[in-house]
């Protein structure tokens, strides 16, 4: 369940993620090259549309339209980064499924479902309702936002009504999928409703995960259950590392336990963690 408002926040590159970003390991160099090449290749399409394949044009149109329809908090650059990672795991034949923890109105899930190969399973986890309360480990910014949500005065994407107040959010998300031609069966997808702490159970390889659950506890649980199953070369994209203190705290704590096994890099407003061993 996404909680982010549209107000600007002071973001920094401090913490363990910054330390990982600077570590001069061979694995890091490879990962940086891969992401750099992917970013350049994707952006070249924007400057030379005639060279785009019909599929690339379709994906780009979906990225544009989910933003125009206020279905995601993610910027176009962040959505394009998800597409680049999705294409990377296919091009490098990274084994495993795709996981999204935190779906909101389904915008990023629509983009991932469009960009992924149909044979790769995609599991989506969310409470599909009011965001759960923060935990004592969360930071003041988190509690301030949660207080606004509880007051009934929270605003959603670009000032639209906050969808966390919707009683039929899952139905709304599925309708959004359908509007973009996305079907759970046709696109090899599964939707799981409930708390991440109760529902996220993995016993198979993961190629990519998009974690967008804001607060400390669901982020920590997501990382601790996804990363051990993440294939070498697979990537976790954290949407809220530079937005919410609870997410940053949980991520820094978890990264400290897996040093030497991954590299973490900032890409725009998101943090990407790629497994190297």
Structure confidence at residue 10 (pLDDT) = 35
Structure confidence at residue 161 (pLDDT) = 87
Half-sphere exposure of 194 (CA within 13 A, CB side): 6
Structure confidence at residue 44 (pLDDT) = 54
Distance (Å, whole) CA 157 – CA 5? 7
The full set of domains in the chain, from first to last, is 16-275 (3.40.50.150)
Query: In the chain, which residue ranges form alpha helices assigned H by DSSP?
Result: 16-22, 26-47, 54-68, 76-91, 107-115, 140-151, 169-179, 196-199, 216-226, 245-255
Measured CA to CA in angstroms, residue 106 lies from 95, 100, 118, 122, 124 at distances of: 24, 10, 18, 13, 9
Tens place of pLDDT per residue across the chain (277 aa): 555 543 333 333 445 554 444 343 434 434 444 455 555 555 555 555 567 899 999 999 999 999 999 999 999 999 999 999 999 999 999 999 999 999 999 999 999 999 999 999 999 999 999 999 999 999 999 999 999 999 999 998 888 889 999 999 999 999 999 999 999 999 999 999 999 999 999 999 999 999 999 999 999 999 999 999 999 999 999 999 999 999 999 999 999 999 999 999 998 889 999 999 9
pTM for the predicted model, two decimal places: 0.86
Structure confidence at residue 43 (pLDDT) = 55
**Pick from 189, 165, 168, 166: which is nearest to 177 by CA?**
189
């Amino acid at each position: 369940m996404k909680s982010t408002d549209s107000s600007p926040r002071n973001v920094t590159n401090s913490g363990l993620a910054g330390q990982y970003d600077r570590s001069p390991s061979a694995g890091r160099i490879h990962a940086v090259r891969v992401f750099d090449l992917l970013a350049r290749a994707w952006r070249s399409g924007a400057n030379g549309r005639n060279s785009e394949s019909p599929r690339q044009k379709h994906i780009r149109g979906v990225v544009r339209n989910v933003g125009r329809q206020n279905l995601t908090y993610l910027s176009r650059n962040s959505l394009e980064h998800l597409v680049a990672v999705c294409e990377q795991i296919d091009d490098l034949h990274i084994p495993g499924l795709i996981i999204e923890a935190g779906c909101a109105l389904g915008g990023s899930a629509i983009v991932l479902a469009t960009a992924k190969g149909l044979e790769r399973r995609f599991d989506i986890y969310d409470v599909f309702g009011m965001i759960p309360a923060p935990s004592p480990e969360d930071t003041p910014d988190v509690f301030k936002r949660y207080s606004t949500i509880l007051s009934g005065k929270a605003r959603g994407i670009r000032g639209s009504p906050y969808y966390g107040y919707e009683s039929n959010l899952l139905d709304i998300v599925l309708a959004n999928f359908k509007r973009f031609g996305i079907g759970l069966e046709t696109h090899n997808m599964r939707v799981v409703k409930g708390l991440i702490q109760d529902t996220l159970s993995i016993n198979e390889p993961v190629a990519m995960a998009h974690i967008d659950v804001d607060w400390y506890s669901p982020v920590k649980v997501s990382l601790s259950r996804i990363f051990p199953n993440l294939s070498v070369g697979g990537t976790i994209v954290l949407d809220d590392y530079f937005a919410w203190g609870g997410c940053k705290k949980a991520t820094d704590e978890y990264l400290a336990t897996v040093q030497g096994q991954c590299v973490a890099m900032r890409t725009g407003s998101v943090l990407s963690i790629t497994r190297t061993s």
